Amino acid sequence: MTTALITGASNGIGLELAKVHASKGDHLVLVARSQSKLEEIKTSLENLYKVKVYTIVKDLSLSNAAQEVYDETQKQNIQIAYLINNAGFGDFGMFAETDWNKELQMINLNMTTLTHLTKLYLQDMVKRRSGKIMNVASTAAFQSGPTMAVYYATKAYVLSFSEAIDNEVRDKGVTVTALCPGATESGFQAAAAMEESNLVKGKKLPTSKEVAEYGYAAMIKGKTVAIHGFKNWIMANSVRFTPRALVVKITRKIQDKAN
């Protein structure tokens, strides 16, 4: 039996990824801040799929959180075959006016903890010459994002980092996949206070389940960059041939609040 560790597993894409892995017979280590939600998910998945679910309640935006998660799985003698760094959040607003403490939490969660977890579990995978890592980036990774400047920058980091690490370890039996969904029907928009933006208002968005199933398949195949949705793929790749200043202006128009 293999075990998948999934961060941000209490809702959205993380929760759906947990369901996909459980349906395939994988045991789970689920990490999130809400103990009540994790316990509810644990009971549900164990009853439905007859797998073992171990929960770790942790605020991954705090320093040393990654080490504490790794130490806990070592203590429990749980070998991680799949590491899914899904936890992350965004914020909406002009950088000069947004909250620095929230942005620092975002940087710590979206980048620092993700990187540290990858290093810790990757070293074990390389020794075993087997394992797969999925880092959840975003189509935001392909361009700058006025009104969500820090979030877009963190996702650009996740994409660049994941591509580089995949190149380093592919010949060692390990693959790293950067999953890049576009706007998705989840709790993300509410948390980022962007329900009124042109990007999401009035739009029919793909579900977290659809994105999770796509991401799981891409990770199993060992795909390096997985962009969900044909339109998102076109948009992500078209920015390479468009002047950067124009891309930034277009992104700003998409991100701005709908009239």
pLDDT by 10s per residue, the chain, length 259: 899 999 999 999 999 999 999 999 999 999 999 999 999 999 999 999 999 999 999 999 999 999 999 999 999 999 999 999 999 999 999 999 999 999 999 999 999 999 999 999 999 999 999 999 999 999 999 888 899 999 999 999 999 999 999 999 999 999 999 999 988 776 554 544 445 545 444 457 889 999 999 999 999 999 999 998 767 667 766 666 555 666 566 666 665 665 5
pLDDT at position 56, please? 98
* Predicted local confidence at residue 197, as pLDDT: 47
Tokens coding 129: 């010459």
In the structure encoding, which two tokens stand for residue 157, read together? 């980091």
Total domain count for the chain? 1
Query: What whole-number distance in Å separates Cα of residue 211 and Cα of residue 24?
Result: 17
pLDDT at 244: 63
Q: How far apart are CA 9 and CA 212, in angstroms?
A: 12
CA distances from 11 to 18, 96, 212 (A): 10, 30, 12
pLDDT at residue 211, as a whole number: 96
Q: Residue 130: which domain range? A: 3-255
Pairing of strands 53-57, 27-32: parallel
CATH number for position 122: 3.40.50.720
